[in-house]
Structure 1
Amino acid sequence: MKSFPLLVSLSIWASSAYATDDFSAIDKYVNAAKKEIGLPSGTAIAVVKEGKIVYEGYFGYANIKENKKVTAETAFYIASITKPMFALSTLLLEHNGDIKDSTSMAEMFPKQDFLKFDADKVQLKHLMSCSSGIENDALLNTLAFTGNHNLKQRHRLLSASVKNQRNPLGQFQYTNLGFNIASIWVDDFYSQSWQKILSETIYQPLGMNHTSSYMSDAAKKSIEVARPYGLTGKDPTAILPFEKSDITMHAAGGTIATASDLGLFLIAQLNQGIVNGKQVFPAEVIKKSHQQLVSHNGSFLDFKRTGYAWGWQIGPYKGSRMLHHFGGVAGTHTHSSFIPEHNIGLVVLNNENNISQYLTNAISDIVYSILLDDGDANKKAEKHILAMRTIASEEQANIKKWNDIKAKKASSRVMQLSLDKQKYVGVFHHPLWGKLNIKLLKSGAFEVRLGEVSTIATAYTKLDTMRVEFSEMNEGGKVLTYKLKNGEVKGLTLFGENFNKV
């Protein structure tokens, strides 16, 4: 792999109160870890203490092949860190009297038919705490990935929600669904998009000038957005094929932001809504947003999770109560956390997801060790550098092994089609999933496109079938089965759904 200089550009603000905080261990670790990884993807860090951003660090590249380094003005797609911001926005709307935490889905959507669950029992607080007891894969994937929707279609998708038989109402199951549903209510109630409401209630009041829930704002406002990378492809320095657009930005994961902008959001959390001496948000609203709504038992690397608040995971970390939320999809891993007891917090943004979760986990240990005076940060950095050497080697070996297995399976199979190849192309429609397009390429391969996502179909083991994998959707490989009648293709099944040929 090509070698890149891993330069760090950082700024540190320190008053006399912070003179003892030495953050050099962060720089030491991140630069060394990225050399071990061998991919100079970008990382942006902001550390918050007592109402100020006391450290910012910028490493690697926003665009590797164009040699564009990450800077203080580089925005990252932050994925699920959108959740606590959107949840706070709904509480501000409650504070204004527009909705209540106990407002039911039946009240939110009085003209909507919900036939497969009791909409009178599912309340806003359930939606904002991943405990609604309902599920809807078509809505989730359409808003986040395929983009096959408009307001009318979103309501059609909403009506398809069903009772979750495995996780009933009041039981936690992590999902985007509740936030997506609440965003449809926002679109209806205010006759404008949830993105605009989020900007008016959160981004603008905080002065988050490099933050938006419209990807198109990047070009309009000259915001450089870090491009997505991953270790799984043949060329890890190549930008991943799927990048977010306005239509695939959603209220559970639809924001671009800089590390320092998110630092402002954390300052508001830690200081009862006060930022730079101004009461930006009502203190009682911030307090309510931190209240646990549901308990659960989980963990992610070093972070134990015992409950969920309004878009915040809750759990112990280094002996204190921490609120945090992470985000991760192909080409992105993000971290936002804070410890109210000590008035400290951390933001870490990455434009790579395979190895960055381990990188960020170590950064967190080093940062909070410095802030809490918990051990020798330089020794911890050295320990984590050695660990990253092993992690990177194992991760790359596992990726190679998995790719080899997939390639071997693909090469051992021959696509079994009973008709001429051209018969299998065309447009197929499902009332919820929208249009699926299948095209025969000059190479003889089939391209399968569902809105904003596409893939090249591979052979499966049965007649008139194909294997398709929209990797962005994390659905794994799915079997596409054609439905034939009298020598003609009439439709197909995918995701357990029937698509009719148009």
Structure 2
Amino acid sequence: MKVFPLLVSLSIWASNSYAMDDFSAIDNYVNAAKKEIGLPSGTAIAVVKDGEIVYEGYFGYANIKENKKVTAETAFYIASITKPMFALSALLMEHNGDIKDSTTMAEMFPKQDLLNIDADKVQLKHLMSCSAGIENDALVNALAFTGNHNLQQRQTLLSASVKNERNPLGQFEYTNLGFNIVSVWVDNFYSQDWQKILSETIYQPLGMNHTSSYMSDAAKKRIEVARPYGLTGEDPTAILPFEKSDITMHAAGGTIATASDLGLFLIAQLNQGKVNGKQVFPASVIKKSHQQLVSHDASYLDFKRTGYAWGWQIGPYKGRKMLHHFGGVAGTHTHSSFIPEHNIGLVVLNNESQISQYLTNAISDIAYSILLDDGDANKKAEKHILSMRVRASEVKTNIKKWNDVSAKKASSRVMQLSLDKQKYVGVFHHPLWGQLNIKLLKSGNFEVRLGEISTIATAFTKLDTMRVEFSAMNEGGKVLTYKIKDGEVKELSLFGEKFNKV
């Protein structure tokens, strides 16, 4: 088993104020905006400047019904902000001599059957910059949502990778897949979980003591984790049904962290690997992690994106070059960004996903306006409060319309089944997607469960079909179609795949 050389371990004191900057406009905005939204979900903010955390703000609740407020020690599930940390870890592996940026998938997996891709052309740098030109929905969804995988199954899933005909090798298309593939290599090469390697190379050296890629560490280390919320349900204060577990934490989006811990990570980015005067990471590795690997043209709210580095989006913001990465799944919206030219950065974490992107967008404008001395931050805050009033109303109206339409469709449909209901229940197996379980509830509804995710099926318009929507996957409704022969259910199709009845 290979181990990493011991890196410098440290912690840093985080102040709540900074003599030269007044961040009260952020407090005023967030408090007012949350009143407009009408849901006291949580938000944690850390602002970095010149090697220090110069502002921290904690708002709302980590657990609404249990009245647990967000504090400096509240960890949030940060989703895709994991990517730049895992990418930096990969570059530290390269620095240690274990892999190269040009190492191909054929070299990474010499015993693996990778027949449907050009494994001798896809390199580590492609995998870590969303430009590998391959796709594999079964692997991505197994690691992030269903949890139907183990070490052996991940090898099987890896072999199912195919060429991406829409975006060939060298072209950018945002995906978790490359990071997931590298994590499979890490598990094999180091004979231990990628989570442990990430902790050894990033979290421990930086003193990120409230950060982990194991959800089980929350209980072991007594870390309070913000629970996920959303505006779509009948009761927005109810915790969303899907929450991450160890088996659904993955290298493209599998970390819990506090805002101040992520602030330490940004300080390392801005100071060539130095934190609190100590060289935690080699400066050359940090520099390389910021190098653009592929160009693309996109935007997200106020953030223009022109390229992608090692887990970092690159683009102009307020006329300056910014590196950033955001994260989002049901019940989570997160933001991490920095402007190297001015040695400033920002972290914003939310445990709500329907409207928090707009909240965070405004926080970014206010925070960077203060840091760059770009206009009156208080006036901007007032403007954003008014904007949130309109936005919150629009979002709630749209959600209500969507729910009403969905309810109307559901009520107008009757499930058309040619056999007795009990014939449709059971266990169905797919070699890549794993076990799918269908259960008939006392209510007469069908529960459909695929590993860690489940839903209640509704009627569709055709005979022997059901509509299923796994909200955690955020892919909309899918049609589940049964195949019947000689009066018995033999198989079903879902996601375009055939599941055989066990």
TMscore range, shorter length:
over 0.9
Q: Which amino acid aligns with 1:181?
A: I
Q: 2:232, 2:29 → 1: CA distance?
A: 24
* Distance in structure 1 (CA, Å) of the matches to 2:102 and 2:497: 34
Q: CA separation in 1, counterparts of 2:103 and 2:178?
A: 13
Match of 2:480 in 1: 480
Aligned residue number for residue 8 of structure 1: none
Within-5 A mapping of 1:324-403: 324-403=324-403
| Aligned equivalents of 1:296, 1:196: Cα separation in 2 | 33
CA deviation digits over 1:126-177, x for unaligned, max 9? 0000000000001111100000000100010000000000000000000000
Q: How many residues align?
A: 489
Question: 1:258-277, aligned counterparts within 5 Å?
Answer: 258-277=258-277
Supply the distance in 1 between the matched residues of 2:16 and 2:485 (Cα, whole angstroms): 71
Matched with 2:11 is none
Q: What are the equivalent positions in structure 2 for 1:429-468 lying under 5 Å apart?
A: 429-468=429-468
Note the 1:19-168 alignment, pairs <5 A: 19-168=19-168
Residue 20 of structure 1, CA deviation: 2.4
Q: How far 1:476 moved relative to its partner?
A: 1.0
Counterpart for residue 301 of structure 2: 301
Q: Distance in 1 between matches of 2:129 and 2:200?
A: 23
C-alpha deviation, 1:261, in angstroms = 0.1
Q: Which residue number corresponds to residue 212 of structure 2?
A: 212
Task: For 1:46 and 1:236, locate their aligned partners in 2 and report how far apart those are by CA, in whole Å.
Answer: 26
CA distance in 2, matches of 1:213, 1:278: 25
Q: Distance in 2 between matches of 1:46 and 1:375?
A: 21
Partner SS state of residue 314, structure 2: strand
Task: Report SS of the residue matched to 1:361.
Answer: helix
The separation in 1 between residues aligned to 2:476 and 2:107, in whole angstroms, is 37
What is the CA distance between 1:13 and its match in structure 2? 3.9
Q: How far apart are 1:115 and its partner, in Å? A: 1.1
What amino acid maps onto 2:63 in structure 1? N
Query: C-alpha offsets along residues 234-279 of structure 1, whole Å, 9 cap, x if unaligned?
Result: 1000000000000000000000000000000000000000001110
SS of the residue corresponding to residue 467 of structure 1 reads strand
Q: For residues 349 and 77 of structure 2, what CA distance do their matches in structure 1 show?
A: 8
Post-superposition Cα deviations, 1:195-249, rounded to whole Å, max 9, x if no partner, equal 0000000000000000000000000000000000000011000000000000000
* In 1: Cα distance, 2:15 partner to 2:263 partner: 13
SS, match of residue 99 in structure 1: coil
Corresponding residue for residue 409 of structure 1: 409
Other-structure match for 1:470: 470
Match of 2:7 in 1: none
CA distance in 2, matches of 1:234, 1:87: 39
Matched to 2:27, the amino acid is D
Whole-Å separation in 2 of the counterparts to 1:106 and 1:117: 10
Instruction: In structure 2, give the amino acid aligned to 1:314.
Output: I
Question: Structure 1, residues 356-402: CA drift from partner, whole Å, max 9, x if none?
Answer: 00000000000000000000000000000000000000000000000
SS state at 2:297 partner: strand
Q: Cα offset for 1:12?
A: 4.4
Q: Which residue of 2 aligns with 1:3?
A: none
Q: CA separation in 1, counterparts of 2:150 and 2:245?
A: 14
Q: What is the aligned partner in structure 1 of residue 229 from structure 2?
A: 229
| TM-score (norm. length: structure 2) | 0.97
Distance in structure 1 (CA, Å) of the matches to 2:20 and 2:436: 59
Number of the residue aligned with 1:318: 318
Separation (CA, whole Å) in 2 of partners of 1:452 and 1:437: 11
- Once the two structures are TM-superposed, the CA of residue 19 in structure 1 deviates from its matched residue by 1.9
Equivalent runs, 1:232-251 vs 2, <5 Å? 232-251=232-251
Residue identity matched to 1:119 = A
Cα distance in 2 for partners of 1:56, 1:117 equals 46
- Partner amino acid, structure 2, of 1:20: M
Q: Which 10-residue stretch deviates more, 241-250 or 473-482? A: 473-482
Residue identity in the other structure for 2:139:
L
Structure 2: how far apart are the matches of 1:369 and 1:190?
45
Partner of 2:8: none
Q: Distance in 2 between matches of 1:456 and 1:353?
A: 22
Task: Say which SS state the counterpart of residue 291 (structure 2) adopts.
Answer: coil
1:103-142 per-position Cα deviation (integer Å, ceiling 9, x unaligned): 0000000000111111000000000000000000011111
Give the Cα separation in 2 of the matches to 1:306 and 1:430.
39
Amino acid at match of 1:398: N
Task: Give, as a single letter, the amino acid of the residue that structure 1 aligns with 2:67.
Answer: N
Q: Where in structure 1 are there 5+ consecutive unaligned residues? A: 1-10
- Give the letter for the 2:90 counterpart: T
- Distance in 2, Cα, partners of 1:296 & 1:58: 35
Question: What is the Cα deviation at residue 475 of structure 1?
Answer: 1.7
Structure 2 portions without partners, runs of 5+: 1-13
**TM-score (norm. length: structure 1):** 0.97
Q: What letter matches 2:197 in structure 1?
A: I
Equivalent position amino acid for 1:395 in 2: V
- Residues 265-298 of structure 1: CA deviation (Å, up to 9, x unaligned): 0000000000011100000000000000000000
SS in 1 for 2:414: coil
- Separation (CA, whole Å) in 2 of partners of 1:475 and 1:13: 40
Q: Which deviations, in whole Å up to 9, do the C-alpha atoms of 1:178-197 show, x marking residues without a partner?
A: 00000000000000000000
CA RMSD of aligned residues (A): 0.6
